[in-house]
A = this chain, B = another copy of it.
Amino acid sequence: MKLAGVSLIAGQPAGKTGAEFRAINPASSELLNPPFFSATSDDVDRAARAAHDAFLAWRNHSGRERARLLRSIADGLDAATAELVSRARLETALPEARLQGETKRTSNQFRHFAETLEEGSWVAARIDTALPDRKPLPRPDLRSMLQPLGPIAVFGASNFPLAFSVAGGDTASALAAGNSVVVKAHPAHPGTSELAARVILDSVRSCGAPEGLFSLLFDAGFHAGQSLVQHPRIAAVAFTGSSNGGRALMDLAAQRPHPVPCFAEMGSTNPVFVLSGALRKQGNGIAAGLFGSFTLGAGQFCTKPGIVFLPNQAETEPLLAELRRLTAESPAYTLLTPGIAATYRRSIEDRRSRRAVEMRTSAPADATCAATAALLETEIETFLNYPELSEEIFGPTSLIVRYSERPAMMRAAEELEGHLTATILGSDEDLAEHRDLIAVLERKVGRVLFNGFPTGLEVCDAVVHGGPYPASSDSRFTAVGSRAILRFARPVCWQGFPEQSLPDELRDTNPLGILRMVNGNMSREPVAG
């Protein structure tokens, strides 16, 4: 497909009046064709208004109709895999197999939400029937269920050009809940973004949904995104990316005359606690898993394990020796953008300049987007004295923190900020002896792992990809998994309405057969007449 290079507003190409930019191939630093054109203020306004109009027309379509749209998008993504992967490969330098897998994950996300809609109980229907004879006052009939919020602004992330971008989990969950979507594409992969948007638009058309249900805006800078978040028609915001970017959007959303929810998933350092029993039993077998996890995707995963707490014991040095060897022998990595690569190098230099942090790296890499893996090592006293050592470095690096005394490790755990994940590598005895540590970690993260690695996030019903600030803007929600739909829905209650005026989900007969709370009891039965 020939790329148009312009924003797509309610199915129509925007003009080429905004600032021009191009994607860069991180592997070769060459500029890619075609040029892309940033959205103007007028484009943003038209996209938001079209999203509002489409929302009004679409919001009362049934969950099953929405599921049909999601399945159509999933099929469209599968059909476009070769084209998506080929362009994404140019724009991100991520390996083909990874991009193949990510495309499948992206289409499966739509299918997973389609299943959620087809089953239908996610709307959390609740019915309290009238009690006309109750004393001192009768009870009216009250029925409630979740309803969509309105147009959702979605910001694509750089590190997953498919699964967390234009057709990613934010778009899928926002559409699933019955909202319309305006995506601000990440400028690092505009071609992949346009291709994914065209798949979505084709499905919107073929399913007879209003074209304003989905729009895509390009911008090499910040103006379009900021205008979008501030637009009065936008009802909520979803973002995946850096702390600075996420906080800026949170602030914009909160400062609006009418504030709107902003769910920002801003990454974290994902601490790993290697406990004594695991070290004794698995020894330096742990090294390969750990190294693989912190260098996966060139270390550009939100869930990359960036801090590893390691007790000093007989097996510690051999494990470290193996980690150092793996690091020293690793090839150079290609990061996603020149900006990410520059920040990575600056952060590594900053750590290198600290006397108390030792570093092992592979051979230096000097292409614009190239990066060498870096293993940082320090003692827990240094870690506790320099809180900045716990800040995320996006790229193939991790910080080993050695400790001799358990109280120091516990203090470090207590002082952790919010993270997406925390991991314990341990024996069953370790677990039993570290209930206090687990209790601390449960308060700090969205997902706590035992004997696994935090990268390789499973998209399912039970997963939580979020956590206390600064991992996310609101720990009550998740960006991944079927719970993610709850970010974009709100309960509405109908009081005293006759059966025929109620949504299907709330009718006595329960025509959809969904699970509902009826007079306090969960049931799929019709309301007893």
Contacts and interface: CB of A to CB of B under 8 A. Distances in A.
Given A115-B520, A128-B461, A258-B470, A495 B60 contact: no
Interface in A435-480: 438-439, 442-443, 445-452, 456, 458, 460-464, 466, 468-470, 473-478
B144 A464 contact: yes
Interface stretch (A133-141, A161-169, A289-297): A133-141
A442 B460 CA distance: 31
A261 interface: yes
A133 to B, nearest CB: 15
A126 B461 contact: yes
Contact of A473 (B259, B469, B492): B259
Nearest to A494: B448
A412 interface: no
A483 B445 CA distance: 24
Nearest to A440: B56
A96 interface: no
A469 B458 CA distance: 35
Contacts of A59: 443
A515 interface: yes
A522 interface: yes
A15 interface: no
Give 5 closest A-B pairs by Cβ, nearest first. Answer: A254-B254, A464-B493, A126-B462, A447-B493, A142-B462
28 contacts: A128-B462, A137-B456, A139-B460, A142-B458, A142-B463, A143-B462, A144-B462, A144-B463, A147-B442, A149-B476, A258-B470, A260-B469, A261-B474, A431-B498, A438-B501, A445-B492, A447-B495, A448-B492, A448-B495, A449-B495, A450-B498, A458-B495, A462-B517, A464-B491, A464-B493, A466-B491, A515-B522, A522-B522
